[in-house]
Amino acid sequence: MRLSAELLAAILAVDGRSRATLDDMERADALADVVLARHRQRVDRHHPEPARTGRRG
C-alpha cells in the first residue's frame, strides 16, 4: 500500500497535478504490483530455496 501511495505521488508530481483520478490510483496500484513482483523475482534468483529431499520431519 505504501508503494502505491509513493507511486501515485510521483505520477502527480511528474504531471504537475495536485489531485488524483481513479485512473491514477489504479495505475499506481498496477505499477506497485509490477515493481514488487520484479523485486521478488530478483530476490528468488539470488536466494534459491534449498532442494527438498522428500523426507518429512
Q: Specify if 52 maps to a domain.
A: no
Q: Specify if 27 maps to a domain.
A: yes
Number of domains in the chain: 1
Q: What is the pLDDT of residue 45?
A: 84
Q: What is the pLDDT of residue 47?
A: 75
Residue 10, C-alpha cell as written in the block: 510521483
Q: What are phi and psi of 10, to 5 degrees?
A: -65, -40
| pLDDT tens, position by position, 1-57 | 799 999 999 999 999 999 999 999 999 999 999 999 999 999 988 776 666 666 665
Q: What is the pLDDT of residue 25?
A: 97
Q: Specify if 42 maps to a domain.
A: yes
Distance CA 28, CA 13 (A): 13
Question: What's the half-sphere exposure (Cβ side, CA atoms, 13 Å) at 44?
Answer: 6
Q: Specify if 11 maps to a domain.
A: yes
Q: What is the pLDDT of residue 44?
A: 87
Q: Specify if 15 maps to a domain.
A: yes
Name residue, grid cell 491514477. Answer: 24
Q: What is the pTM of this model?
A: 0.72
Q: By residue range, what is the domain housing residue 27?
A: 2-46
